[in-house]
């Protein structure tokens, strides 16, 4: 137990840490979970995030209220023309000239420029400037293992964490290449057990049934396979040692890149709010009694 957790316990209220998982557009649902914490007056002592979970978790850890993150997300995604303009800026230099055009051959985006364009104002450059202790999980592609960041450049870590192969260019970090943290640890709650009394994990990879009859394109099937593997990793982790509270917002009908359905995703996650509130309150009461 860390001193911080002890302190919180001495204050009479158990400390809470939150892990936000990967899942692309589905991860917009994390905002609804953070709103619930704000509504309950709970300030987490630590946050861990992978991929989209890191993008939203870092903004929250910067001290931006969940409601403000929600309105930022909706505002940014309201106008497709603005998004298109930003994607053009974020595209990786001359890469497109080297590959075959069209035919599902993707153009890579630079995740660091992407964050610069899409993050709300007020997210700092380094972990040290965050208001809440934060852990970001990426995959070290060069060493083929998990890379856990909690100090130094925040943008590089989060950019690496979200660098989904085929969509984003890998991020160079001190000579090693980082890719999507979902490849090794899609729901990084295991890094929080020593940091708080209660560990909440938010899983958005859970469930989903493809209703589409037609065969997926090669790229779609690669994204789909990666998502299924992430769900399987999470299932194994939960079997070994579950978090204290596991939240699964009902967003299974949304795809990895359904960003333009942000308001629908938030509405779907809204339905889980009561359940979340109840789970957190009863666990808080139980922990306080213990």
Q: With contact defined as beta carbons under 8 Å apart, do 26 and 256 qualify?
A: yes
Cα distance from N-terminal residue to C-terminal residue, the chain: 16
Per the structure block, which two tokens stand in for 129? 């400037």
Q: With contact defined as beta carbons under 8 Å apart, do 109 and 168 qualify?
A: yes
Kindly state the number of chain residues that form the binding site for other proteins, as judged by CB under 8 A.
32
Taking CB under 8 A as the rule, does residue 210 contact other proteins? no
Tokens 């109840």 correspond to 278
Taking CB under 8 A as the rule, does residue 290 contact other proteins? no
Q: Please say which residue, 94 or 211, places its beta carbon nearer to other proteins.
A: 94
Question: Is 221 one of the annotated active-site residues of the chain?
Answer: no
Taking CB under 8 A as the rule, does residue 84 contact other proteins? yes
Pick the piece of the chain touching other proteins (CB under 8 A) from 7-15, 48-56, 75-83, 132-140.
75-83
Radius of gyration of the chain (CA): 18
**How many CB atoms are located within 10 Å of the residue 221 CB?**
11
Q: With contact defined as beta carbons under 8 Å apart, do 130 and 154 qualify?
A: yes
CA distance linking residue 217 with residue 9, whole number of Å: 52
CA distance linking residue 240 with residue 9, whole number of Å: 27
Taking CB under 8 A as the rule, does residue 104 contact other proteins? yes
CA distance linking residue 51 with residue 117, whole number of Å: 16
Taking CB under 8 A as the rule, does residue 105 contact other proteins? yes
Catalytic residue among 15, 22, 51, 272: 51
Which position among 68, 222, 257, 279 is part of the footprint of other proteins (CB under 8 A)?
A: 257
Minimum separation from the CB atom of position 284 to other proteins (A): 39
Which position among 17, 46, 167, 196 is part of the footprint of other proteins (CB under 8 A)?
A: 167
CA distance linking residue 140 with residue 148, whole number of Å: 9
Longest CA–CA span in the chain (Å) reads 64
Pick the piece of the chain touching other proteins (CB under 8 A) from 14-22, 94-102, 121-129, 272-280.
94-102
Taking CB under 8 A as the rule, does residue 76 contact other proteins? no
Which position among 11, 12, 41, 97 is part of the footprint of other proteins (CB under 8 A)?
A: 97
Minimum separation from the CB atom of position 172 to other proteins (A): 19
CA distance linking residue 176 with residue 147, whole number of Å: 10
Pick the piece of the chain touching other proteins (CB under 8 A) from 76-84, 149-157, 227-235, 241-249.
76-84
CA distance linking residue 75 with residue 83, whole number of Å: 11
Catalytic residue among 22, 110, 180, 203: 180
Question: Is 282 one of the annotated active-site residues of the chain?
Answer: no
Which position among 40, 68, 74, 96 is part of the footprint of other proteins (CB under 8 A)?
A: 96
Q: Which residues bind other proteins (CB under 8 A)?
A: 78-89, 91, 93-97, 99, 101-102, 104-107, 117, 167, 219, 257-260
- Report, as residue numbers or ranges, the catalytic residues: 51, 180
């Amino acid at each position: 137990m860390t001193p911080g957790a002890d302190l919180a316990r001495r204050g009479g209220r158990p400390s809470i840490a939150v892990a936000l998982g990967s899942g692309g557009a589905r991860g917009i649902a994390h905002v609804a979970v953070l709103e619930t914490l704000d509504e309950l007056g709970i300030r987490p002592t630590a946050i861990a995030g992978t991929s989209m979970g890191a993008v939203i978790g870092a903004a929250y850890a910067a001290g931006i209220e969940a409601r403000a993150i929600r309105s930022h997300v909706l505002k940014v995604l309201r106008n497709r023309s603005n998004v298109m303009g930003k994607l053009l800026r974020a595209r990786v230099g001359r890469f497109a000239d080297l590959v075959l055009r069209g035919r599902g051959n993707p153009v890579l985006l630079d995740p660091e420029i992407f964050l610069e364009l899409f993050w709300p104002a007020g997210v700092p450059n380094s972990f040290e400037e965050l208001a809440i202790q934060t852990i970001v999980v990426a995959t070290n592609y060069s060493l083929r293992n998990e890379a856990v960041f909690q100090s130094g450049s925040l943008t590089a870590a989060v950019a690496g964490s979200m660098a989904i192969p085929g969509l984003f260019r890998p991020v160079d970090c001190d000579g090693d290449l980082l890719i999507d943290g979902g490849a090794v640890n899609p729901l990084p709650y295991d890094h929080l057990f020593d940091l708080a009394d209660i560990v909440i994990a938010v899983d958005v990879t859970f469930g989903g049934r493809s209703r589409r009859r037609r065969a997926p394109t090669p790229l779609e099937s690669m994204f789909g396979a990666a998502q299924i593997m992430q769900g399987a990793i999470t299932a194994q982790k939960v079997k070994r040692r579950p978090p204290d509270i596991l939240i699964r917002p009902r967003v299974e009908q949304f795809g990895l890149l359904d960003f333009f359905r942000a308001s629908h995703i938030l509405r779907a996650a809204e339905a889980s709010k009561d359940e979340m509130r109840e789970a957190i309150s009863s666990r808080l009461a139980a922990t306080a009694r213990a």
